[in-house]
Amino acid sequence: MANGDSKLLGAQLGVLTSNGTASIAKAEFSDIVPIRSIIVRPDDDWSALAGQQVRVGGWVKTARKGSKGSRFLQLNDGSCLGNLQVFVEADKVDLGQLARTGVCVVVGGVLKLPPGDKEQKVELKVEKMVHVGPVDPADYPLPKTSLPLEFVRNFVHLRPRTCTISAVIRIRSALAHATHIFFLERGFLNVQTPIMNCSDCEGAGEMFQVTTLFSEGEKLEKDLLKNPPPSEADVEAAKFIVKEKGDVVALLKSSKASKMDIGDAVAELKRAKENLWKLEERSKIQPGIPHKEGKIDYTRDFFGRPTFLTVSGQLQLEAYACSLSKAYSFGPTFRAEKSHTTRHLAEFWMVEPEMAFAELEDDMNCAEAYVKFMCEWLLEKCHEDMEFFAERYDKSCIDRLRMVASTPFERITYTEAVDLLIEVVKNGKEFENHVEWGIDLSSEHERYLTEVKFQKPVIVYNYPKDIKAFYMRLNDDSETVAAMDVLVPKVGELIGAPEQVHLILQSILILERGLPVDLYQWYLDLRRFGTVKHSGFGLGFERMVMFATGLDNIKDCIPNPRIEGRAD
């Protein structure tokens, strides 16, 4: 292909439209093979590749000059850590433009085994340039291959092009795969729990409230230009109606009226409130003052009562476990914690199994088996990426996986853990955080237990009731609850878990914590109707990625980290 032709085709494909060029793209892109299928050869049999015609697409990592103006490109498509060497002769394309980090190319050609080259077992000799997505090096923010993680964090949209983040994503993907295999093969059903809830599962008040943008605002503003604003008397009258309807609802509820009658009255009250709200909003509007100046609150409570992003799917999962025996969810959870640490995110993914007919010990066994299973999975399926993390970030990460996969976890009570830590302090060890019965262990204590004292994962169980959530079963000592945390070297707490409490105590605990009982009525039904012991846990998925890869900052263990002050 002549130089000009390839550039023309490249340019066409670079701006795909929904008509003509899309059909070219389909034909040209349809037989692209993943680079992984070429260069990852566990049997080390390279000879079969020689002479094969293939087409690949990817992004240039580095380039070097060959003889007679030719170029060797290292091409990566994210399917594996390694790059495919691509050899382009000088007359194929504008090489200056091509040989830049970040350029996207689709090329077809023949595979060769370069004689005597120990590094490159196979290379692709380009015969056809199908696509070139150029990069202006003056603007491209990631021109070098080895950049500090703090720096690439500023380019969250481009950082998957780096070796580290693409390897993290492959590890995440493998862990997600392992998770589904583990639970499905053990008879759990995958249940999708809601993202929006009224109740606070952890009772800690660290929730994000959901409001909607008030899209009718501008419409109302225009309306007002035609109609006069409501008078004060109109607003007062609407307020009176809301009060009246509210009284009716209260009366019906206290007189044990039928659910239907109460429902109708509540609906009327809602309508009256809606009307009042509209009048109040309209009375605030001053024509000509743009809403951006903050004259009108453009957010609204869509659900009629405060609603929040989920902090855990546990309560809903309990309902499913108490019907289907074993259920698990795997989804995003949100905590409005102001913890600016390397281990916290405002949005993180949690794997939450829940089992009926199970006590805390069954829970521990399940959690231990699950963590071991994930470690074995990574050792077996992600060897190349794990080697990369060991070489680049944490030389013991592979050994750690092996150790966790093969060593029984230590199991100690919270009281034993605290006694042990107090003893260590007496013997001269200094911790930044105070150790005392009744205070939660801090991450330095957790790491001391797993990294120094036991040098393996530790399950700490039977925590003081006051530092745990309302749903946990109280032990016979009346001081501790049947809860456990799985602590692992490098990250500390990986899993938090309760065995759930029975009805009467549950109601008392909800009241004691000052939580609105009416919001938990449905949850109490699970204890009233056909209840049984059940237990589950929550594994912080990014913590597992951190543990596996040895990365120091959890923000590098999730595609798009969300922390206080940053969601862009």
Ligand X SMILES: NC(=O)C[C@H](N)C(=O)O
Q: Between residues 389 and 463, which has the closer beta carbon with respect to ligand X?
A: 463
* Interface pattern 139-168 for ligand X (x via CB under 6 A): ------------------------------
d(CA 116, CA 227): 86
Helix (H, G, I), strand (E, B) or coil at 199: coil
Pairing status of strand 480-488 against strand 492-498: antiparallel
| Secondary structure E strands in 374-428 | 410-413
CA distances from 176 to 295, 369, 492, 539 (A): 47, 16, 21, 12
Enumerate residues 321-360 that contact ligand X by CB under 6 A: 352
* Interface pattern 94-123 for ligand X (x via CB under 6 A): ------------------------------
Token pair for 310: 């989920």
Enumerate residues 182-201 that contact ligand X by CB under 6 A: 201
d(CA 239, CA 273): 8
Q: Does 492 bind ligand X (CB under 6 A)?
A: no
d(CA 63, CA 75): 9
CA atoms within 13 A on the CB side of 369: 12
- Stretch of residues binding ligand X (CB under 6 A), selected from 276-284, 380-388, 431-439, 494-502: 494-502
Which residues have C-beta within 8 Å of that of residue 405, sequence separation ≥ 6? Answer: 372, 375, 376, 379
Q: Does 314 bind ligand X (CB under 6 A)?
A: yes
Q: Are 86 and 72 in contact (CB under 8 A)?
A: yes
Smallest distance, Å, CB 500 to ligand X? 9
d(CA 274, CA 277): 5
Smallest distance, Å, CB 473 to ligand X? 13
Q: Are 357 and 219 in contact (CB under 8 A)?
A: no
Q: Does 310 bind ligand X (CB under 6 A)?
A: no
Candidate list 58, 457, 538, 550; residue touching ligand X; CB under 6 A: 538
Smallest distance, Å, CB 455 to ligand X? 25
Longest dimension (CA), the chain: 94
Smallest distance, Å, CB 46 to ligand X? 48
| Secondary structure E strands in 66-138 | 71-76, 84-88, 104-112, 123-133
Q: Between residues 79 and 193, which has the closer beta carbon with respect to ligand X?
A: 193
Q: Between residues 282 and 534, which has the closer beta carbon with respect to ligand X?
A: 534
Residue 498 has φ and ψ, to the nearest 5°, of -120, 160
Q: Between residues 130 and 497, which has the closer beta carbon with respect to ligand X?
A: 497
Q: Does 497 bind ligand X (CB under 6 A)?
A: yes
Smallest distance, Å, CB 372 to ligand X? 19
- Stretch of residues binding ligand X (CB under 6 A), selected from 182-190, 374-382, 490-498, 550-558: 490-498
Pairing status of strand 538-540 against strand 492-498: antiparallel
Q: Does 498 bind ligand X (CB under 6 A)?
A: yes
Smallest distance, Å, CB 496 to ligand X? 3
Q: Does 203 bind ligand X (CB under 6 A)?
A: no
Q: Using CB under 6 A, count the residues that bind ligand X.
A: 11
Q: Between residues 77 and 202, which has the closer beta carbon with respect to ligand X?
A: 202
Which residues are near ligand X by CB under 6 A?
201-202, 312, 314, 352, 496-498, 536-538
